[in-house]
Chain A
Amino acid sequence: MNSSLSRRKFLKTSGALIVSFSAASLLDPLALAQGPFGTHMSHIDPSKLDSWLAVGADGMVTAYTGKCDFGQGMYTVQTQLVAEELRVPLSRVRLIQCDTSVTPDEGTTSGSQSTPINFNTGGLAQAAATAREALLDMASRRLRVPVTDLAISDGVISTRAGKRVTYAQLIGGNRFNLALNPAAKRTQPSQWTVLGKPVPSMDIRELATGRFEFVHNLHVPGMAHGRVVRPPALGCVVLNVDESSVRGLPGLLKVVVRKNFVGLVSEKQWQAEQAARQLKVNWGPPVVLPAQQTFYDYIRQQPSRDVLVVDSQDTEQKLAASPTVLRATYSYPYQMHGSIGASCAVADVRAEKATVWSPTQSVYPTRSGVAKLLDIPLDNVRVIFTRGAGCYGLNGADTVSYDAALLSHAVGRPVRVQLTRKDEMAWGENYGQACVIDQRAALDSHGSIAAWECESWAASFGGRPGYDHPGNVITGLLVGFEPEPLVPQRSSQPTGELRNGHNLVPSYLTGCISGKCGGAGKIRSERVLAHTVKSPFFTGPLRSPLRLQNTFAHECFMDELSARAKVDPIAFRLRHLSETRIIDVLKAAGQAAKWDPRPSPQPNNSRTGTATGRGVACVAYEGDNGYVALIAEAEVDQVTGRVQVRRLVAAVDCGPISNPAGLRNQIEGGALQGMSRALTEEVTWNDHEITSTNWATYRSLPLGIEVPVIETVLLNRPGAEANGAGELSITAVAAAIGNAVFDATGARLRQVPFTPVRVKAALDARSAA
């Protein structure tokens, strides 16, 4: 966030940011809307209204946003936002997303931050509100009527006496020349007519009929096809490349080697694919990887960067004095984004100017990365977001954009690069982090939690490149850029306000630092220590990064505590919570699921055959960016260890709901994606390389499963700030399923994924105990 803020400041103060492109690189059919005024400073400086909105002579409103849609519904809901604030029909709004030559720099579209940033009092919302007020002012002057006597509807401003003026008459085709007004009033949710409504996804018709243009579908005139040749194992460097191994192959244009980056370009895709298979590269020896079997022990031993998030300094004492102390260790594997499409990008680099059509969630940072890779000025690079397959964080989108830029630069023609499935899975994406988490807590004599300690180790390497670290993804590293270093550091006592962006602190703690308490719970005796260690593999912000891993550990442990206290899991949670919003979602989920209050495990279940149970988990996402409670009902085959989830009930509160239809789709998708990750997904490796490189070796739940019934309860909070919603259900689902298995069988699962073998082992351990 910091780097993007300083970048914004830079943009505000820099008078020199003029993006100049030759007409050739704009390639007419692909040039996209340039806005009515071409591309220049005012289109990019985020403090100016003209950077965000333009009203055409035809009355069309064009809005420029730095938050893009890769399947999560941002296109539709941002169009609603603009239509609402400007009081025009949806059809009169045209939204231009994420193009560094025309949209403002809003950093990355990620981390459940798009809604908070663009739907509260900043960004696009503020721009739209500013524009409406400016138009009212203009109308008031033109019609000589005070603003309070004016009404707007359908882009027409009218007086009570029936005098009227349209937006087009007021400003059509001209600039506002105004700064964003921080005091401009957002329309109150109670007055909404477009926002808050279940507007259907605006792209589904094109998607369902095969018309939608993904980056994979782009055809740039003169385009050739590239493939990359990644190292065979981790740590291998290029010794030499034997170009004679592919000499004379049809269509081959060039073999490109830059340090450890190897790729090639051919006229046709099939030719490139065959040449890439045939190219002989001599690689140096690989590094030896830590054994997967003992990996969770291994990461505990590594030098670490430590953060003591909260520490009341009395937990040792409380734990020592308590009659009942529970401890448990949870582990969570590396997992993949595993986008359905292997990543693809197109670049056109000629005469030191680069245009990249990229599925990246971060056009501006990618622009900066490409400029560094090609060593050309930032202003010579234009990155245009073009949708790829659903991404969920940092799949191969950024790295393949670098690949395309390097290859196009080498041949001086537009080049499309398609990664293979293995490139994507072993050498393309940045995995979700592996973690091991120790929990320790004391119960007092009334069965309440007297103290809670949590210590975690997360393996991390690279990540989003941001503006400065192209080496945070594989291609950057291969050409010689260093990833952001992980500097080991001891922790000091916490100061300032609680920062719980990674959900390191369980919702049940008070989260007090020097007397200021930012937590959602009541437990005062608290200590949370987090270690980050260097991962052998690239990692990145996979949907609900660390929030999911930590919540899995917290919510399963809370379940263990409630079982030991012999209290109903929901009642036990409520006993330790103070924040109304999480309390409300918990109650709402219980109600919707017709939760039967009783302690777990289910007392009447047989220890053989099939057993069913229910489990709950809840979280204040990122501490205060949305609230979710999720109840899972699961069936466990105690012979095979197979877990079948039958029903998922999620209650969410993400502030005022902008589009309930889109929100439900996100909650449902997140719940099932989380279920797949909880039950089957795990990155695997041997001594030297990743071995989960396709869908046979990295298992995803296919469409052909008995899909659980999913129910979503939406709690609308019109008075609150808008929160993120895309990561709510996925954060809670693994714990809810694990807790349901415990309720059904009395067996506790502490390691994801819950494969039949692991479930079986937990069931066996139960009889041994």
Chain B
Amino acid sequence: MSAILIKVNGRIHTVDVDPATPLLYVLGDELGLRGPKFGCGLGQCGSCTVLMDGRATRSCITPVSAVGQSEIITLEGLGTPEKPHPIQQAFIDEQAAQCGFCLSGVMLTAKAFLDHNPQASSAQIEHAFEHVLCRCFVHARMMRAIERYAQTRRV
């Protein structure tokens, strides 16, 4: 165990854990965050995704010690139910969820990718989602929501 400082959703936290602990467990068990979720623990599905300095990162295979000075943003760090972030608003508008368990992977992958590649073609967007799963298969709506967000980034 050792005391580790991490910056999450704009606040600095000290946690006392084994440095090898996956970031996901720190966020969920120590900080009580609900956005990132355990899907596979293997980096294959996306459910545990967070933004690490703006990059979509799979927290299930990222040891907390690897975070360092980086700033972590989780799904709840983007917006609130009253004031959702535009990517969240796009998903609400398109009713793009069923169980909603996959949303961190879908929305944060979309945000990170489009923020860095606002001009991406739909083929490039598809490519960015090659390893993101939604088992309720809300694909059609999600892709519409992502396209909606992409529009806001392009103007």
Chain A positions near chain B (C-beta within 8 angstroms): 70-73, 200-201, 203-214, 216-217, 219, 225, 250, 268-271, 338-342, 344, 387-392, 418, 420-421, 661, 665-666, 668-673, 675-676, 694-696, 700-707, 710
Answer whether residue B34 sits at the interface, using C-beta atoms and an 8 A cutoff. Answer: yes
Name the 10 nearest CB pairs between A and B, nearest first: A71-B99, A210-B35, A704-B129, A210-B75, A390-B99, A207-B100, A210-B76, A672-B137, A71-B98, A703-B129
Q: A340-B45, A420-B41 are in contact. Are A216 and B28 (CB under 8 A)?
A: yes
Chain A residues, CB < 8 A from B44: 421, 694-696
Would A341 and B38 count as touching, CB distance under 8 A? yes
Residue B99 contacts which of A205, A387, A694, A706 (CB distance < 8 angstroms)?
A: A387
Bound form: Cα–Cα A673–B133 in Å: 11
Number of chain B residues close to chain A: CB under 8 A: 64
Residue B1 contacts which of A250, A390, A700 (CB distance < 8 angstroms)?
A: A250
Would A390 and B28 count as touching, CB distance under 8 A? no
Chain A residues, CB < 8 A from B20: 270
CB distance from B102 to the nearest CB of A (A): 5
Among B47-63, those with CB < 8 Å from A are 47
Would you give 15 A-B contacts (Cβ < 8 Å), ordered by A? Answer: A204-B95, A207-B100, A208-B97, A209-B75, A209-B78, A210-B103, A271-B18, A338-B135, A389-B99, A389-B102, A421-B42, A668-B138, A672-B139, A695-B40, A704-B131
Chain B residues, CB < 8 A from A201: 95, 97
Chain B residues, CB < 8 A from A420: 41
CB distance from A201 to the nearest CB of B (A): 6
Closest to B43 in A: A695
Chain B residues, CB < 8 A from A339: 101, 135
Bound form: Cα–Cα A104–B131 in Å: 42
CB distance from A736 to the nearest CB of B (A): 16
Given contact pairs A210-B33, A392-B135, a sample of 6 additional A-B residue pairs in the complex whose CB atoms are under 8 Å apart: A204-B91, A211-B80, A214-B101, A340-B99, A661-B95, A669-B98
Chain B residues, CB < 8 A from A271: 18
CB distance from A428 to the nearest CB of B (A): 13
Closest to B74 in A: A210
CB distance from A394 to the nearest CB of B (A): 15
Bound form: Cα–Cα A207–B91 in Å: 10
Bound form: Cα–Cα A544–B49 in Å: 31
Bound form: Cα–Cα A338–B137 in Å: 12
Would B142 and A703 count as touching, CB distance under 8 A? yes
What's the dominant secondary structure at chain B's contact region?
loop
Chain A residues, CB < 8 A from B76: 209-211
What's the dominant secondary structure at chain A's contact region?
loop
Would A268 and B84 count as touching, CB distance under 8 A? no
CB distance from A207 to the nearest CB of B (A): 3
Answer whether residue B72 sits at the interface, using C-beta atoms and an 8 A cutoff. Answer: no
Would B17 and A270 count as touching, CB distance under 8 A? yes
CB distance from B47 to the nearest CB of A (A): 6
Bound form: Cα–Cα A668–B76 in Å: 27
Bound form: Cα–Cα A665–B137 in Å: 10
Chain A residues, CB < 8 A from B133: 340, 695, 700, 702-703
Closest to A674 in B: B137
Would A703 and B139 count as touching, CB distance under 8 A? yes
Bound form: Cα–Cα A575–B135 in Å: 37
Would A217 and B34 count as touching, CB distance under 8 A? yes
Would B92 and A710 count as touching, CB distance under 8 A? no
Chain A residues, CB < 8 A from B99: 70-71, 340, 387-391
Chain B residues, CB < 8 A from A219: 29, 32
Would A704 and B42 count as touching, CB distance under 8 A? no
Q: A209-B75, A668-B140, A704-B126 are in contact. Are A389 and B135 (CB under 8 A)?
A: yes
Chain B residues, CB < 8 A from A269: 25, 29
Chain A residues, CB < 8 A from B77: 210
Answer whether residue B7 sits at the interface, using C-beta atoms and an 8 A cutoff. Answer: no
Chain A residues, CB < 8 A from B125: 704
Chain A residues, CB < 8 A from B39: 340-342, 389, 421
Residue B42 contacts which of A71, A72, A694 (CB distance < 8 angstroms)?
A: A694
Q: A673-B137, A695-B42, A705-B139 are in contact. Are A205 and B98 (CB under 8 A)?
A: no
Chain A residues, CB < 8 A from B92: 200, 204-205, 208
Chain A residues, CB < 8 A from B137: 668-673, 675-676, 701
Bound form: Cα–Cα A111–B111 in Å: 37
Answer whether residue B150 sits at the interface, using C-beta atoms and an 8 A cutoff. Answer: no
Determine which residue in A208, A668, A671, A705 has the highest number of CB atoms from chain B within 10 A of its CB, and name it. A208
Would B140 and A672 count as touching, CB distance under 8 A? yes
Q: A270-B25, A340-B45, A705-B126 are in contact. Are A208 and B103 (CB under 8 A)?
A: yes
Among B63-91, those with CB < 8 Å from A are 74-81, 84, 88, 91
Answer whether residue B8 sits at the interface, using C-beta atoms and an 8 A cutoff. Answer: no
Bound form: Cα–Cα A205–B32 in Å: 19
Residue A204 contacts which of B22, B97, B127 (CB distance < 8 angstroms)?
A: B97
CB distance from B35 to the nearest CB of A (A): 3
CB distance from B36 to the nearest CB of A (A): 8
Chain B residues, CB < 8 A from A696: 44
